[in-house]
Chains A and B, each alone.
Chain A
Amino acid sequence: MTNYLDNVDSDWFSKRLSAALTLVVAAFVVLIARLLFLQVIEGGELRRLSEINSIRLRSVDAPRGLIYDIHNRLMADNRPSYDLSITVKDAHPLERTIEKLSRYTGIDEAQLWERLERAKGTRAYKPVLLKPDIGRDALAAIEVNRWDLPGILVNVSPRRDYIFSPSLAHLLGYMGEISVEELKNQICSNCKSGDYIGKYGIERIRENWLRGKRGGQQVEVNATGQVVRVLNTVAATPGHNIVLSIDQSLQLTAEHLLADQAGAAVAVDPSNGQILAMASSPSFDQNAFISGMSHDMWNALISDPSHPLENKAIQAEYPPASTYKIVVAAAGLEEGIIDENTSFFCPGFFKFGNRTYRCWKKWGHGEVDVLKALTESCDVYFYKLGLELGVDRLAWYANAFGLGEPTGVDLDHEEGGLIPTAQWKKKRVGISWQKGETLSVAIGQGFNLATPLQMAMVAAAVGNRGVRYRPMIVKTIRTADGQTMYESAPEVTGRLPISEKNLWLVREGLFKAVNERHGTAWRSRLEGMDMSGKTGTAQVAGRRDDAASGDDDWGSIKDHAWFVAYAPRENPRIAVAVIVEHGEHGSSAAAPVAAEMIRFYLSGGQPKPDTPLAAASATTADGD
């Protein structure tokens, strides 16, 4: 055994070298043979092919999945968009072609040149997009004058169309061109720049379901670049269709009732957590996002003080006000602090420390038990009960009702509200909890915050005897040819920690609040529909320290009006939460909205000739 490289002239080494060279030469012989074959033997044929080589690749956009409501009513459709492009090489002479194009279609010539300028450096054979979505009139003008417009192409691509826009805009969301960051973060699996993707709502959350798979075609083109034949097609795979649990008629009703006001209304099916309607007012036009929005329009949208882009049903947090008394009453009963016979005396105010906390009813409710407290929304009763419970015990129950954390609905940007504890305040504000603050919390004011969806879920859980569901919006996902890929199943997230008897008392109180003459929502009662509910009047921020209500001299800033309800009384089919910003009283502004939604839904979508809206707008013996 010797190191043969130490003796380079050895036979050994030269053998290895020549072997290596032989192998290389052999491989090159194969390459050269192939070259000869292609360039000499097949050369003539391949030259001919290259001369008639007019085969181009064209991508075919996949239609996006459609979105339906629970009754299979189409809500988001695709419409054809006619996109105008030009192949510079074929457009001779360029100046005249552009000039004529502008004359036929009415598109500003400068605008066309600007797009061309931007595309400088791309290959002359590649079509340059001049203007997307030119509309039928411009299309007709081009088709008629096709002979006069060399190199001008019109491609059809699918565009989103929201049939009921601006209805349900916040929930469906909208689409926009993919941004550089989104491309970088690979938001979706097969995106390329210039693609439209979901930017908000269901469109965004379910992007990967809705989005189809792009296809393509090998096409043969003639001398002016017009397609003469499709040679080979890889079909685009359409996106998945989504069926929502939304009932579009109920949705439209809710939006109609909230028109010209700021606020939100949420309706859920208490038996499974499916969201039937989710209105947020004011809304915006989704279609404007698709066809490209002007700067002014966008600025108007984002500077509007009523926040049209915000989905108030899940993103806006309000003090739950008297609707929170449902939780306080249940907590008090369950903790044994009160029972059905416990009663407190309400003189119309409650002195605590050196302050006087008022009841909404100046001259008092007199002797009040838990049923009367809920029916008439007596503040003094809940001050006393709240003091006994303490802030932390109350917070534990509030959390058990699903407050203070997001409900987990499959929408983006959901807020969780706030349920304060002594520890939270110490950490956040740096000051220990003051007993007086418990009084505010007990009537749903103070630090308390909740979203309309959270309150609807509270109503649903109370109505269905204690089962908490995760709110759901997507009911079914199907392929374009109808194969079911996903079917939502009710998801139980917990049970209210309230005994059946105690929960019955609370429900009885809510029933009486609507159906008894002294009840705070008596005016909105529904004949034969057994609605139960609770009004609320949320003091607008700034008055937080004046925990109690009754400051009539407040003036310009009106309170927010709440109403949460479910119906019918047993095995409810619908639970609703409504907030009307600055609507003043729950009973006059919010309850009629909720009542009409429930009436509409339970009567199977029958419009009512004389709505209770008008009647209820008059001031009534109001709660809280």
Chain B
Amino acid sequence: MAPSPPAAKLRLATVWLAGCSGCHMSFLDLDEFLFDLAEKVDVVFSPVGTDVKIYPEAVDIALVEGAVANVDNLELALQLRQRTALVISFGDCAVTANVPGLRNLLDGGHDSAKAVLERGYLELADATGQLPFAPGIVPELLPRVLPLHEVIPVDLYLPGCPPSAERIREAITPLLAGERPAQEGSAMLRFG
């Protein structure tokens, strides 16, 4: 008797926008749970799980770390929304813009791109300072750093800086069973 085909695995993506990758480090802190996860999902796009450069079609769940700070972030955010059933704002940078968003303070958030570049490359530089100019190579900064939900609709929020591995597991486990996690209480919701 031929073995029955394995049940279709969920297609999981993890995405790294403007963040420090701390949320992804926390994801790797899932340790042995990653083996359980690997039995239930195919990791189809991830800076820590695949070498795929193009965001694939028909993704079931995407954990999106980081704020939207440059044109590459924006393009990928729009693309992943079109190709993903359930988008999760993964960590405080995605949820609030957090530390990357601090540059919005430089001018009240209207055009902090110019302000932050001048601060970093001219004001704090020695006499040889110059603004970076590499069109098509280095992505242009957006005028304002945005949380993910101000760019695309988000289905679930997983705050934390970073969210602990425990919190990630508690959020993912119900999703693998087709259920929504109960996002309440200090274990699941706390910022910072």
Do the two shown chains form a genuine complex with each other? no
